[in-house]
Structure 1
Amino acid sequence: MVTLMETVRAMVSAGGCAWHEAQTHESLTPYLVEESSELIDAIERDLPASEVKLELGDVLYQVLFHAAIAERDGEGYDLDEVARALNEKLIARHPHVFGDRGYLSLEELEAEWERLKEDAAGEARGTRHALEGIPSGMPALARAAKVVERLKRAKLIDPSEMEGIHRDPLAAVIGPDERRLAEVGVGDAILAIVTRANAAGVDPDRALRLAVDRMAARAAHS
């Protein structure tokens, strides 16, 4: 890792690579999204481990690139600081591994997760809103899924009982032993909605963002 960081540092430094030298955190954002998407694609396509390894390396490169820029521009941190802060965060958020909480099952962790984050941040129990920390810049569909999952975990909504879901023909195929069939059905339904939006001259991404904002606003006042 040290040798790799030295390579990246040499490229971003003055007299190294002109393209690397010109980059900023902002200019690199599209590449971070692209490389992350390529890694996800490799995993979902079940490509050989050697291919996944290369895609992981490209994502790691983005992390090192940002750290080298911060070091070069005197932003007050470098890769060691990033790693140190991450290590402290991981330990603080996992008292069931590094502290005295004892082993927690997956189900217990899901119920405890927000409280564990409150403890790690030194916040009073119950002060952290269920939707806190969800980036507004996430892709609309990913953000929608995150908001729904957080609200479900906080018991602020029950997706299975939301208005209209029982009239949804997809409800009949969604079950614990039919996940693959459900995935196909949901994908087709989303594609059909996007097609209808196109016909109506509606931006489906914006429509979903606004719908998620309305759901988040209702949750904030519940």
Structure 2
Amino acid sequence: MESASIEADIHTDTPETAGGLEAAAAAVARAAQTVKTMVSAGGCAWHEAQTHASLVPFLIEESAEFVDAIERELPADDVRSELGDVLYQVLFHAAIAERDGEGYDLAEVAEQLNQKLIARHPHVFGDRGYMSVEELHAEWERLKEDAAGEARGSRGALDGIPAGMPTLARSAKVVERLKRAGLVNPGAGEGTHEDPLAAAIGPDEQHLAEVGVGDGLLALVMRANSAGVDPDRALRLAVERLSARVMHGED
């Protein structure tokens, strides 16, 4: 499908939708200008002193608070407030980039994101038609290879996973990537001698499984504490062993 027709499809909003988007754009623009004023010379001394690096702890904290609001099922007003704090971090980083002449601003961040979303969803904005979740997983990897100018099939199953992710989140990401690539079968207890929790996991037992897994993880943390073992380090090393064994055939 030609880009012009894609743009036409994207902009066929109802009056109500268009009005909502215009209001959102105006509100974001006002917030962006407020942040830009604070980071500029003569604005707020604290904001002016911040850098991308100095803001990392705040980005992590605000993201965690948003997640907490969701998981605790707080009222919508509280969730909205926490989401606003996450948006503030995006606006803050974009304002710093513009102020320090890094070559981009908020508009370019948003435009690049929009182009990426359209390019990586040809089943929505192109002529690929409906695709199942399984097909989308495979398509996603191919599209990322194309975007990076890489040969099809050259991207490894674990490429692009940030090393700085929290250990448990990173281990879950590694296992999911290996599962998608058909390299492990988590249901078979890959990488463990036995999997006592597997029996509790079924299509109609998601909540029970979550409770069981949570209790099992906590029991392992207690066991690690009793043995004088750092559970975070133990998990990091276990993930590295699994990755090496599966990806490189190492013992």
Fold similarity call, TM over 0.5: yes
Structure 2: runs of 5 or more not aligned: 1-27
Amino acid at match of 1:183: E
Please give the residue correspondences for 1:23-62 in structure 2 after superposition, counting only pairs within 5 Å: 23-62=50-89
* Alpha-carbon distance in structure 2 between the residues aligned to 1:107 and 1:157: 16
Amino acid at match of 1:124: A
Which residue of structure 2 aligns with residue 146 of structure 1?
A: 173
Does 1:177 pair with 2:189? no
**Is the CA contact 2:189–2:198 (under 8 Å) kept in the aligned structure 1?**
no
**Is the CA contact 2:62–2:82 (under 8 Å) kept in the aligned structure 1?**
yes
1:165 shift after superposition: 5.8
Name the SS of the counterpart of 1:130 in structure 2: coil
Does 1:95 pair with 2:132? no
Amino acid at match of 1:150: R
* Alpha-carbon distance in structure 1 between the residues aligned to 2:193 and 2:240: 24
Name the SS of the counterpart of 2:203 in structure 1: coil
**Is the CA contact 2:184–2:190 (under 8 Å) kept in the aligned structure 1?**
no
Aligned CA distance change for structure 1 residues 164 and 146 (closer, same or farther; 3 Å): closer
Amino acid at match of 1:188: D
1:216 shift after superposition: 2.0
1:164 shift after superposition: 7.1
Name the SS of the counterpart of 2:41 in structure 1: coil
* Alpha-carbon distance in structure 2 between the residues aligned to 1:22 and 1:133: 31
Identity of aligned residues (%): 75
Does 1:18 pair with 2:48? no
**Is the CA contact 1:170–1:186 (under 8 Å) kept in the aligned structure 2?**
yes
* Alpha-carbon distance in structure 1 between the residues aligned to 2:44 and 2:166: 32
Larger radius of gyration: 2
Please give the residue correspondences for 1:69-108 in structure 2 after superposition, counting only pairs within 5 Å: 69-108=96-135
1:160 shift after superposition: 1.6
* Alpha-carbon distance in structure 2 between the residues aligned to 1:32 and 1:70: 16
1:107 shift after superposition: 3.2
1:14 shift after superposition: 1.3
**TM-score (norm: length of structure 2):** 0.83
Which residue of structure 1 aligns with residue 93 of structure 2?
A: 66
1:140 shift after superposition: 0.1
**TM-score (norm: length of structure 1):** 0.94
* Alpha-carbon distance in structure 2 between the residues aligned to 1:154 and 1:64: 36
Give the alignment's Cα RMSD to 1 decimal. 1.6
**Is the CA contact 2:69–2:79 (under 8 Å) kept in the aligned structure 1?**
yes
Name the SS of the counterpart of 1:169 in structure 2: coil
Which residue of structure 1 aligns with residue 136 of structure 2?
A: 109
Name the SS of the counterpart of 2:129 in structure 1: coil
* Alpha-carbon distance in structure 2 between the residues aligned to 1:185 and 1:137: 28
1:50 shift after superposition: 1.5
* Alpha-carbon distance in structure 1 between the residues aligned to 2:38 and 2:244: 46
* Alpha-carbon distance in structure 2 between the residues aligned to 1:105 and 1:169: 32
**Is the CA contact 1:165–1:171 (under 8 Å) kept in the aligned structure 2?**
no
Which residue of structure 2 aligns with residue 133 of structure 1?
A: 160
Which residue of structure 2 aligns with residue 201 of structure 1?
A: 228
